[in-house]
Chain A
Amino acid sequence: MSQIAISVQDLRKRYGGLAAVDGISFEAGRGEIFGLLGPNGAGKTTTLECLEGIRQPDGGTLQVLGVDPGRQPRKLCSLIGVQLQSGGLPGDMQVAEAMRFFCAYHGVPPRYDLLERLGLGPKLKAQYRQLSTGLQRRLALALAIAHRPPVLILDEPTAGLDVGSRTELHALMQEIRGEGAAVILATHDMAEAEKMADRVAILLRGKIVVTGTPRELTSAGSGFTKVSLRTEESSLARDDVSLPAVHQRLLKEDYVIYYSTDPGPTVAAVLDYVRAHGDKLIDLRVERPSLEERFLEITVGGAS
Chain B
Amino acid sequence: MTAFLNHFAFEFKTGLRNATLLMMNYLFPLGVYVLLGLVMTPINPLFKDTMLPAMVAFVAMASPLLGLPSPLVEAREAGIYRTYKINGVPALSILVIPVLTTILHTLIASAIVAATAAPLFGAKLPANWTSFVLIALLTAVTFGALGALIGVVSANSRATVLWSQLVFLPSMVIGGLMLPLSMLPKPVFTISTLLPSARAMQAFAGLAYGQETALNPLVSVAVLLATAVLALGLAIYLFNWDRVNQARRGHPLLALLVLLPSVAGIFLG
Interface residues of chain A, those whose CB is within 8 Å of chain B, are 52-56, 73-74, 77-78, 80, 82, 84, 86-90, 92-93, 97, 100-102, 104-107, 127, 140, 143
Stretch at the interface among B25-33, B73-81, B125-133, B190-198: B73-81
Residues of chain B contacted by A82 (CB below 8 angstroms): 86
Residues of chain A contacted by B80 (CB below 8 angstroms): 87-90
Let me know if B87 and A102 touch, CB within 8 A: yes
Let me know if A78 and B88 touch, CB within 8 A: yes
B-side binding surface: helix, strand, loop or mixed? helix
Known: A84-B79, A90-B75. Contact between A77 and B14, CB under 8 A?
no
Let me know if B75 and A77 touch, CB within 8 A: no
Instruction: Give the docked Cα–Cα distance between A88 and B242 (Å).
Output: 12
- Cβ contacts A to B, 16 pairs, < 8 Å: A54-B242, A54-B245, A77-B87, A80-B86, A84-B82, A84-B86, A88-B80, A88-B83, A90-B80, A92-B14, A92-B18, A97-B10, A102-B87, A105-B3, A105-B87, A143-B87
Interface size on B, residues (CB 8 A): 26
Residues of chain A contacted by B88 (CB below 8 angstroms): 74, 77-78, 105-106
Question: Quick one: CB contact mask for B233-249 with A, threshold 8 Å, 1 for yes?
Answer: 00000000110010100
Let me know if B6 and A54 touch, CB within 8 A: no
Whether B158 is near chain A, meaning CB under 8 Å from some CB there, is no
Let me know if B87 and A52 touch, CB within 8 A: no
Let me know if A87 and B79 touch, CB within 8 A: yes
Let me know if A93 and B79 touch, CB within 8 A: no
Q: Which partner residue on chain B sits nearest A97 by CB separation?
A: B10
Residues of chain B contacted by A55 (CB below 8 angstroms): 245
Let me know if A53 and B10 touch, CB within 8 A: no
Residues of chain B contacted by A101 (CB below 8 angstroms): 3, 6-7, 10
Instruction: Give the docked Cα–Cα distance between A54 and B82 (Å).
Output: 7
In the complex, the 7 A-B pairs of residues with the closest C-beta atoms, listed nearest first: A87-B79, A77-B88, A104-B3, A87-B82, A104-B6, A105-B3, A104-B2
Let me know if B83 and A53 touch, CB within 8 A: no
Residues of chain A contacted by B3 (CB below 8 angstroms): 101, 104-105, 107
Let me know if B78 and A88 touch, CB within 8 A: yes
Q: Which partner residue on chain A sits nearest B17 by CB separation?
A: A92
Residues of chain B contacted by A127 (CB below 8 angstroms): 17
Residues of chain B contacted by A105 (CB below 8 angstroms): 3, 7, 87-89
Q: In the complex, how many angstroms separate the beta carbon of A297 from the nearest chain B beta carbon?
A: 32
